[in-house]
A and B are shown apart, each in its own frame.
Chain A
Amino acid sequence: MAAILIHAAIPLTIILVYALVAIWGERKIAGFIQDRLGPMRVGGWHGWAQSIADLLKLIQKEDIIPTNASRFLFKFAPFMMFAASYAAFAVIPFSSAYIGSMINIGVFYLLAVTSILTLSVIMAGWASNNKWSLLGGMRSAAQMVSYEVPTIATVLTVVLVAGSLNLMTVTEMQAGNDTLGFLPNWLIFQNPFLIVAFIIFFISILAESHRVPFDLPESESELVGGYQTEYSGMRWAMFMLAEYADMLLLSLLGATLFFGGWNSPFGDFMGGPAWGFFWFMLKGLLLVFVMMWIRWTLPRYRVDQLMHICWNILIPLSFINLVLTALWEVIF
């Protein structure tokens, strides 16, 4: 029992620390990209304590529930959303010494559990009893259901090459440095189709985690705040936390599938469990950084463009890519 709790607490700690850093980081990055400084005052050096101050403020806020809201669902939705992304961390191998659960269906479980996220967004949107919220919820559901298809197809491409659904096994087989003599044995360097797969995967996870250019569910200029319009205080903070946790989860999944997970880029040099954790988080956070970078660089797509990109471009491309990868595996 105690062992289970400790196992469960490790990813939770990582998510909470990461969320504090990432929210501050996002504001700083936004500031630098727009040629301003971002938060500077709280805590001294570059306002590092800003997120902690924000958290303390959010805890003190009144928890407002609209009179006509469906109370139980309204209260429940933020927690379900966080639970769904937190549960998925169970199969992420953080280092060669730690993985929450060594189940054989690893990545399949991850995709299944994150599909609950969609439902919690609809739940929040509907329960708020607000037009903007409902529209945001519906948009989000349509978007996430659509973009699940290319995500699954690209993950399937990797699984095809790796031959395992267990993310630990997928990482272990990417150890070593002999691709073309010097490159690490990461899957992205293994064959040209996996590079295409990674690009499709990255676009899809941008859409799945509601990041710009696909942040239609919460587009503030049209929908006020999308499904989270009516939320305040800690319940709103739970949404924020879930969103950042989801970003980290999908980035870490990308790092595991394409960039060797906890393997060091220098072969055995700087290897071992502790360095493994360092490399893994570094790769994941780099992808998170790219997501933030894109957010403050690109404008938002329209709904029809969003659906066009998914159904007319990404899905056919990902399936063609899957077949070509299979051919490559047969030939070489």
Chain B
Amino acid sequence: MELTTILFYLFALVTLGSAATMVFSKNIVHSAFALMFTLMGVAALYVLLYADFLAATQLLVYVGGILILILFGVMLTSQGYTLSFKTITVNLIPASLISVGIAALLIFAFLTTDWTISEVAERTDTVYDLGMLLMGDYILPFIAVGVLLLIAIIGAILMSTRLSAENEGVS
């Protein structure tokens, strides 16, 4: 077997295994760390598809940013870190029915679609191409996303300053 094939199955195994751990783990911090392995596995799969920029973004944004926020949220909201809060299983029957239904739908779609399989072309200039596309054809969505993020940041600052002002008793 080729090295890339072995790597693909390895990373696929890591992704699926850690995703299963994330869902079935009773400890919420363990789930969060399992999510980290899932995200890293997906990033590795991106690399195998020559999407290096996307892979690095995945690491920077999801692993380096969002996951740390999740961990912070989990650790700071539980009452004292020693009391690990447990997840419990509720709505067992409807949940399993819905997930089996969705799984069946996905498998059906996967099997019946006429997939066109193309050879993955090696790309080296991903950043350049991406930059040209973002600054050219997709300039409007790019700027719209930028404005949206700016609004979100301003909102977050406004909310946090209002909260801290109330806490300190300053109007």
Which A residues fall within an 8 A CB radius of B?
Answer: 1, 70, 73, 103-105, 108-109, 111-113, 115-116, 118-119, 122-123, 126, 129, 131, 134, 138, 141, 145, 148, 165
Q: Which 3 A-B pairs have the closest CB atoms?
A: A115-B64, A112-B59, A112-B60
Q: A105-B56, A126-B29, A165-B127 are in contact. Are A112 and B75 (CB under 8 A)?
A: no
Q: Which residue of B lies closest to A119 (CB)?
A: B36
> Which residues of chain B have C-beta atoms less than 8 A from A118's C-beta?
64, 68
Q: Which residues of chain B from 44 to 94 have a CB within 8 Å of any chain A CB? A: 52-53, 56-57, 59-60, 63-65, 67-68, 71-72, 75, 81-82
Instruction: List B contacts of A70 (CB < 8 A).
Output: 27, 29-30
Please determine whether B52 and A104 come into contact, CB atoms closer than 8 angstroms. yes
A104 to B55, CA, bound (A): 13
Do A138 and B75 touch (CB < 8 A)?
A: yes
The answer to whether A105 touches B68, judged by C-beta atoms less than 8 angstroms apart, is no
Identify whether the interface residues of A are mostly helix, strand, loop, or mixed.
helix
A250 vs chain B, min Cβ distance (A): 16
Q: Are A104 and B72 CB-contacts (below 8 A) given A116-B59, A116-B64, A118-B64? A: no
Cβ contact within 8 Å between B33 and A123: yes
Contacts of A138 in B (CB 8 A): 72, 75
Q: Are B75 and A134 in contact (CB under 8 A)?
A: yes
The one of A73, A108, A112, A126 in contact with B81, judged by C-beta atoms closer than 8 angstroms, is A126
Main secondary structure of the interface of B (DSSP, over half): helix
Jot down 19 A-B pairs with beta carbons below 8 A, ordered by A: A70-B29, A73-B30, A105-B53, A105-B56, A109-B56, A112-B56, A112-B57, A112-B59, A115-B60, A115-B64, A119-B36, A119-B67, A122-B68, A126-B81, A131-B81, A138-B72, A138-B75, A145-B68, A165-B127
Does chain A have a CB within 8 A of B126?
yes
Q: Is the CB of B53 within 8 A of A115?
A: no
Chain B residues within CB distance 8 Å of chain A: 3, 27, 29-30, 33, 36, 40, 52-53, 56-57, 59-60, 63-65, 67-68, 71-72, 75, 81-82, 124-128
Kindly list chain B residues whose C-beta atoms are within 8 Å of the C-beta of A131: 81
- Taking a contact as CB atoms under 8 Å apart, the answer to whether A104 and B124 are in contact is yes
Q: A113-B56, A116-B40, A119-B63 are in contact. List 7 more A-B contacts (CB 8 A).
A: A73-B33, A108-B60, A108-B127, A112-B59, A126-B71, A141-B71, A145-B64
Q: Is the CB of B57 within 8 A of A104?
A: no
* B contact residues around A104 at 8 Å (CB): 52, 124-128
Most chain B CB neighbours (cut-off 10 Å) among A73, A105, A118: A105
Contacts of B57 in A (CB 8 A): 112
Is A111 a contact partner of B52 (Cβ separation < 8 A)?
no
Looking at B56, B75, B128, the one whose CB has the most chain A CB atoms below 10 A away is B56
CA distance A1 to B81 in the complex (A): 45
User: What is the bound-complex CA distance between A113 and B124, given in angstroms?
Assistant: 20
Question: B29, B124, B126 — which one has the most chain A CB atoms within 10 A of its CB?
Answer: B29
Residues of the A chain whose Cβ atoms lie less than 8 Å from the Cβ of B53: 105, 108
